[in-house]
């Protein structure tokens, strides 16, 4: 990570008009601080006016020192998987409610970013997952996930049948609606609603959480992040693999899905005083009395 931040990319939630005003005000603020500002090409298409350089996300490697994402957690998930390989740190600005990842409010964004420009921030590394699909021994798909890799059935009301192996060792055969492979970040997303454990994001762990398994004895299991997970589809009619909310691929019988931790972590920056436990209390309403 390069500091001080001399060039900052601004990225807005795709096709969200209400982001235009805050993004341009932030861009003007940064320019006033002597920071070079670039805007990603998709965001630039929806701005009313701007005279900032435009760069596609995949061309930002080596060109920007920091990326500020305005939107929600879903937007940041997508952007992170694109920028993480380049090591660009990210800051999330939430356009509405407090998010798990986008923890800076629009109301305080300029002061918070000013503090970050002065070095007042907390750096956090979070694990990503790398997934690939082998069909007849050939790789036909690969992508990254920040929250989870999910194997799930489509609109057909039949259970999926699959086999799971960890580091080559047989774990179980399962009939279920699906299987979630989650990072600690993703443990508070889909995996949580399926009964999985909450994992602190600093942990190097992967959670396997079955979705509506056809047995009362099957429970989530947590394994080390260096594990190599293999999911072999025995019955795959209308079955899909989904990575976070932005990438999917249709599976066939005997396809093999391999999931490992990605070699580089995502780098998130937070304001001083950031607390994961505070976020849990707020988002999960733990501070509310019944």
Peptide bond into 28 cis (omega under 30): no
Domain locations in the chain as residue ranges: 7-127+265-283, 129-261
- Per-state percent for the chain, helix, strand, coil, to nearest 5: 20, 40, 40
- Range 129-261: architecture per CATH: Sandwich (2.60)
Closest C-alpha to 65, from 120, 6, 123: 6
What pTM did the predictor assign? 0.94
Only one residue has tokens 């190097």, namely 204
Q: Which residues are catalytic?
A: 73
Task: Supply the pLDDT for residue 98.
Answer: 60
**pLDDT confidence bin for 19, thresholds 50/70/90:** confident
For residues 236, 240, 241, 245, the Cα torsion angle rounded to the nearest 10 degrees is -160
| Distance in angstroms (rounded) separating the CA atoms of residues 19 and 93 | 10
Tens digit of pLDDT for each residue in 29-76? 999 999 999 999 999 988 877 789 999 999 999 999 999 999 989 899
Tens digit of pLDDT for each residue in 64-116? 999 999 998 989 999 999 999 999 999 999 986 667 899 899 889 999 999 99
Which two three-digit tokens encode residue 169? 């060792």
Tens digit of pLDDT for each residue in 117-126? 999 999 999 9
Task: Supply the pLDDT for residue 246.
Answer: 86
Q: Give the burial class of 239: count Cβ atoms within 10 A of its Cβ; 0-12 exposed, 13-18 middle, 19 or more buried.
A: buried
What mean pLDDT is predicted for residues 152-156? Answer: 79
Average pLDDT, rounded, for the chain: 92
Q: Which residues lie across from 161 on neighbouring strands?
A: 175, 235
Q: Which CATH number fits domain 7-127+265-283: 3.10.20.30, 3.40.50.10330, 3.30.70.20, 3.10.450.50?
A: 3.40.50.10330
Q: Sheet of 205-211: strands edge to edge?
A: 221-224, 205-211, 178-182, 148-153, 239-243, 247-251
């Amino acid at each position: 990570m390069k500091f001080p931040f001399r060039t900052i990319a601004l990225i807005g939630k795709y096709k969200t008009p209400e982001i235009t005003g805050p993004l341009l005000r932030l861009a003007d603020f940064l320019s006033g601080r002597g920071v070079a500002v670039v805007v990603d090409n998709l965001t630039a298409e929806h701005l009313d006016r701007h005279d900032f350089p435009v760069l596609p996300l995949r061309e930002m490697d080596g060109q920007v020192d920091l990326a500020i994402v305005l939107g929600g957690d879903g937007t940041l998930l997508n952007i992170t998987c694109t920028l993480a390989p380049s090591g660009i740190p990210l800051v999330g600005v939430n356009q509405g409610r407090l998010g798990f990842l986008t923890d800076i409010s629009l109301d305080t964004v300029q002061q918070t970013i000013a503090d970050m420009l002065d070095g007042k921030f907390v750096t956090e590394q979070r694990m990503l997952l790398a997934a690939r699909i082998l069909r007849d021994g050939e790789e036909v798909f690969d992508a990254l996930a920040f929250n989870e890799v999910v194997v799930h059935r489509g609109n057909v009301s039949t259970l999926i049948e699959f086999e799971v192996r960890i580091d080559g060792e047989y774990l179980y055969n399962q009939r279920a609606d699906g299987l979630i492979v989650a990072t600690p970040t993703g443990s508070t997303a889909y995996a949580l609603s399926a009964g999985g454990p909450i994992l602190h994001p600093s942990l190097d762990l992967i959670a396997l959480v079955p979705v509506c398994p056809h047995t009362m004895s099957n429970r989530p299991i947590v394994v080390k992040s260096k594990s190599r997970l293999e999911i072999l589809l025995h019955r795959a009619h209308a079955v899909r693999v989904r990575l976070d909310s932005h990438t999917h691929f249709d599976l066939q019988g005997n396809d093999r899905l391999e999931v490992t931790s990605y070699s580089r972590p995502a780098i998130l920056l937070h304001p001083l005083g950031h607390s994961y436990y505070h976020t849990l209390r707020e988002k999960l309403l733990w501070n509310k009395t019944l």
